[in-house]
Amino acid sequence: MGISIGMVGLGNFGSAFAPLFKAHPLVDRIAFCDCEPDRVEKFAKDPFFADKFNPRDVYSSLDEICRSDLDALVIITQPWLHAPQCIQAMESGKTVYSAVPLSCLPDGDEVLDWCNRIIETSQRTGKHYMLGETTCFRPQAMFCRRKALAGEFGDFVYAEGEYMHDVDNACCLRVVQRERTESRVGSEWPAREEAYFRRGKLASPMNYPTHSVSGPIFCMGTRARKVAAFGWRNRTGDSYFRTSDFSNVTALYELANGASMRVAEMRELAGQLSPLENETFRIFGTRGSFSENTWYYNGRTNEHDAIRPPQKRLYSDAELFDPLPPEVREAFLELQNIQSGDLQNRDFVPAGHGGSHPYLVHEFVTCVTQGRRPLVNAWEAGHYMAMGVAADISARRDGELTPVQDWGYAPEL
């Protein structure tokens, strides 16, 4: 028997995930929830969902859907709402998926408190929390994770993670900000943001650090210990940055595995970078290294190994992905073909943020069906946020070496 899933938040991003969750063969029942009735209605009336959707499964608030008998909730609401909503979902007995980040607020102490509470709630209730971090399910991350688990990097020596998203580039952040505040719930944000601003709590790209820090941390399976960071302040008086401290932050972390890692979170820089450049990471080890889809390997374990010819291979994204179970691949292929109108196509190409979307869906669904803890669980997700908070503290203190809070790893089940 399959599982039942409720989609909470059917705005721009949630709308992209609803068909994938419905298409997954282990999902038997899908429910829709949004405070905006037209956003729910769009899905409730779509014949694609009819075989797994009962009209009773329409909800207009989180409170209402938390009282349902659904197994799990997928929360893709505005980023400042995720943490309390995920806690409410776990308290009501649901396994929960959260869009990134765990919480996005311009107050580091408050963010750390939410991380604490998410971890504590997941542990106490026994309900799993998954962060839908697209970076961790990009093909590059899958490949590096496999290599790391096989020990082929040797010892890790250095890593980089970057999220270069200029405010005006593709997926214009000004438009995103406007659209997120258009809904009834969203319209409450500007007043809250102003209140933070008046208390001296200024925003920073490190309030949303997950796309840069998560790749190397997740693949290497390590934690950050300390950081020294520097910030750039907008000089043009751009209204987008009025409530921000920094528009760009660069950070150097010392990691628990002995490597160092340079991270850049940029919202103000020229250049429409290619998808491989604007959200990317590189990992260097003593034996193997990965950079821009290329794997370098010297196989060296001691000085005599240096005589071996070093290997270098450029991979296509298709070669980097983990395989999906055949029935899941088939179901996603069918959805892809319905969406593209090419029903004869046999080539499934994972799409959405580097192809991560179908994999995020598969990971969450299998966690629910197997009662397994997600790979990007509360402990992992909390650490990404702590890395951003520590970088902000350091940048505001002119690069002062700052410890990164660490809750350790999720306990074995």
Ligand X SMILES: NC(=O)c1ccc[n+]([C@@H]2O[C@H](COP(=O)([O-])OP(=O)(O)OC[C@H]3O[C@@H](n4cnc5c(N)ncnc54)[C@H](O)[C@@H]3O)[C@@H](O)[C@H]2O)c1
Strands (DSSP E) contained in 248-326 are 248-255, 260-266, 279-285, 288-291, 294-297, 311-314
Pick between residue 78 and residue 402 the one whose CB is nearest to ligand X. 78
Piece in contact with ligand X (CB under 6 A), picked from 31-39, 232-240, 285-293, 324-332 = 31-39
Piece in contact with ligand X (CB under 6 A), picked from 20-28, 77-85, 315-323, 390-398 = 77-85
Q: Which residues lie across from 231 on neighbouring strands?
A: 249
Pick between residue 14 and residue 209 the one whose CB is nearest to ligand X. 14
Pick between residue 61 and residue 294 the one whose CB is nearest to ligand X. 61
Provide the mask over 166-205, with x wherever binding to ligand X is found by CB under 6 A and - wherever it is not: -------------xx--x-xx-------------------
Provide the mask over 326-365, with x wherever binding to ligand X is found by CB under 6 A and - wherever it is not: ---------------------------x------------
Q: How far apart are CA 18 and CA 332, in angstroms?
A: 12
Smallest separation (angstroms) from ligand X to the CB of 13: 3
Pick between residue 74 and residue 229 the one whose CB is nearest to ligand X. 74
**Helical spans, DSSP H, in 221-312:** 275-278
Helix pair 326-340, 12-23: axis angle to 10 deg: 130
**Helical spans, DSSP H, in 12-134:** 12-23, 37-44, 62-66, 82-91, 108-125
- Beta carbons of 308 and 290 less than 8 angstroms apart: no
Pick between residue 44 and residue 256 the one whose CB is nearest to ligand X. 44
| Total residues in contact with ligand X, by rule CB under 6 A | 28
Q: How far is CA 410 from each of CA 119, 277, 367, rounded to the nearest angstrom?
A: 9, 32, 14
- Of 41-70, binders to ligand X (CB under 6 A) are 61-62
Smallest separation (angstroms) from ligand X to the CB of 72: 16
Smallest separation (angstroms) from ligand X to the CB of 256: 26
Q: How far is CA 242 from each of CA 43, 197, 222, 250, rounded to the nearest angstrom?
A: 37, 9, 35, 20
**Helical spans, DSSP H, in 201-280:** 210-220, 275-278
- Beta carbons of 265 and 163 less than 8 angstroms apart: yes
Provide the mask over 117-136, with x wherever binding to ligand X is found by CB under 6 A and - wherever it is not: -----------------x--
Asked if 76 touches ligand X (CB under 6 A), the answer is: yes
Task: Please give the radius of gyration of the chain, using alpha carbons only, rounded to the nearest integer.
Answer: 21
Asked if 96 touches ligand X (CB under 6 A), the answer is: no
Asked if 36 touches ligand X (CB under 6 A), the answer is: yes
Of 381, 393, 392, which Cα lies nearest the Cα of 82?
381
Helix pair 378-396, 108-125: axis angle to 10 deg: 170
Piece in contact with ligand X (CB under 6 A), picked from 35-43, 113-121, 280-288, 384-392 = 35-43
Smallest separation (angstroms) from ligand X to the CB of 334: 24
Q: Which residues of the shown chain bind ligand X in the complex (CB under 6 A)?
A: 8-14, 33-36, 39, 61-62, 76-79, 81, 99-100, 134, 179-180, 183, 185-186, 353
